């Protein structure tokens, strides 16, 4: 239906989070029914974002400026770095307005089963950042999964010798997955009740 162009589009939409084959078909149909009002602006916005947005060379956040707007903001507390698994976590914490320091995106968690070691993560860059002396606290905000916990442990062992305070989000707070799915209040509580490692 609709030809190979439409099938390709539906296939691409269906791979996005929140979409399945049905909703992908519905979304594509909506676009096709108003090509000038809906489809062309979307195509241009996608092309612009693909061209402009890059990972921040300092923290790994995605932004159209590098360093990102957070790293470049002189009002942020540069003595505190919050370590997260993904960019989605940075955006969740920013939405909740609970952290006024900087971030560091690891890009995953250690996972021996999947063959993900420290080299596969953005971990060395974190240790280098902390080694510059400006940083006083590193808040580890990783999920309370097995991999998240072993990553927290690895980071703590490597950060402590650098002379910084290492804290983690409070236990007992239901962090079973990405911070992205937590509501703002829960996120704020988890951060406020952080504990030293």
Rule CB under 5 A: which residues touch Zn ion? Answer: 56, 58-59, 61, 67-68, 71
Residue 164 near residue 134 (C-beta atoms within 8 A): no
Closer to Zn ion by Cβ: residue 7 or 100:
100
Least distance to Zn ion from the beta carbon of 87, Å? 10
SS3 label, residue 196? strand
Residue 95's nearest CA partner among 195, 1, 183, 189 is 183
Helix axes 123-131, 146-159, angle to 10 degrees: 30
Closer to Zn ion by Cβ: residue 61 or 152:
61
Closer to Zn ion by Cβ: residue 70 or 191:
70
Separation of alpha carbons 8 and 13, rounded Å: 9
Least distance to Zn ion from the beta carbon of 26, Å? 36
Least distance to Zn ion from the beta carbon of 134, Å? 15
């Amino acid at each position: 239906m609709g030809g190979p162009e439409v099938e390709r589009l539906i296939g691409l939409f269906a791979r996005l989070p929140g979409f399945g084959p049905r909703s992908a078909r519905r979304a594509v149909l909506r676009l096709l029914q108003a090509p000038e009002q809906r489809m062309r602006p979307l195509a241009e916005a996608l092309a612009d974002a693909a061209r402009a947005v890059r990972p921040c060379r300092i923290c790994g956040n995605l932004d159209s400026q590098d360093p990102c707007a957070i790293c470049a903001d002189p009002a942020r507390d540069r003595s505190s770095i919050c370590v997260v698994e993904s960019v989605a976590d940075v955006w969740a914490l920013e939405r909740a307005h609970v952290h006024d320091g900087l971030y560091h995106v690891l890009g995953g968690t250690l996972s021996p089963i999947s063959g993900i070691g420290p080299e596969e993560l953005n971990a060395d860059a974190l240790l280098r950042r902390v080694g510059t002396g400006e940083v006083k606290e590193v808040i580890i905000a990783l999920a309370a999964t097995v991999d998240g916990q072993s990553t927290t442990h690895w980071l703590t062992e490597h950060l402590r010798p650098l002379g910084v305070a290492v804290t983690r989000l409070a236990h007992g707070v239901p962090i079973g997955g990405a911070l992205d799915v937590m509501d703002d209040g829960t996120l704020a509580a988890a951060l406020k009740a952080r504990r030293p490692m």
